[in-house]
Amino acid sequence: MNKKLRMSVAPPDDDLTSDARIRWSPSRSSQTLSLPEQIAEVIGNSIITGALEPGQRIQEQGIASQFEVSRGPVREALRILERDGMVRILPRRGAQVTRLSIQEINDIFAVRASLLRLAVKLIAEQPTPDLIVELKKRADRLAQLARSNAGANTYLKESYYLNLAMATGCGNERLRDMIYSLAHQTLRYSRLGLSAPERRLRSAKNTAALIRALEKGDTEAAQDAVERLILESRDAAVHLLTQQQEGSAPAKRRAVR
């Protein structure tokens, strides 16, 4: 399908341009997205960037009308998003955006850290020059974005693709597929953890250390760097989400009374 799909949801940040949109990656080999995957990509980006908020209902008919498609592809798109933890489909109630959870942050980032530790170990043990060049280029781009006025969405996109490049370049197909499968589930939390400019500067510094270790073939240093990169992002996301939940608690108690 050549028609560009659009959704009339305004993004919360002014850095959500077409360049900042994350392309949905259902598989490493997918070159052309199916119609449901295109719809999932647009809705998913609206969820990742906060244009669609946690708990918000997603109306199938409204989306079908916006995209000028039948409800069938929309339902399939929502199933893709449910598989990736972005929405929850409730019987007789339709789909809604899943809520952020501190427990889920801890669970997902623990798995992600373990998977990427193994990926960088494989890369460091048998470095491929072309892969190292690609990773260094992306790390340099992250450093530039962190020092500039680019916002969290643009930085997140570059970080996301660097992670997928490591997954593809590690040489282990099962590991690659697991990292790809987990990638979308981490995006909202990663964006939260990278929302502050100082956090993006720290993330870029950790990424640069990771690439230097890979260039040297230093397995231990590379593993330590990628774990630090992931867990610092986790800790920042947990801190901010805790603040948000504590801030909303009094309002909820007042509403109950």
| CATH code of residue 22 | 1.10.10.10
Q: By mean pLDDT, which of 28-42, 112-126, 196-210 is the weakest?
A: 28-42
- Both 152 and 232 in one domain: the answer is yes
Write the pLDDT tens digit of every residue in 120-174: 999 999 989 999 999 999 999 999 999 997 888 899 999 999 999 999 999 999 9
DSSP 129: H
Global pTM reads 0.81
Enclosing domain of residue 83: 18-97
- Both 146 and 181 in one domain: the answer is yes
- Both 176 and 230 in one domain: the answer is yes
Cβ(43)–Cβ(58) below 8 Å = yes
- Both 192 and 110 in one domain: the answer is yes
CA distances (Å), origin 204, targets 36, 40, 144, 200, 236:
34, 29, 9, 6, 15
Query: Residue 247's pLDDT is what?
Result: 83
DSSP 148: S
Count the domains in the chain. 2
Residue 201 lies in a domain: yes
The fraction of the chain above a pLDDT of 70, given in percent, is 85
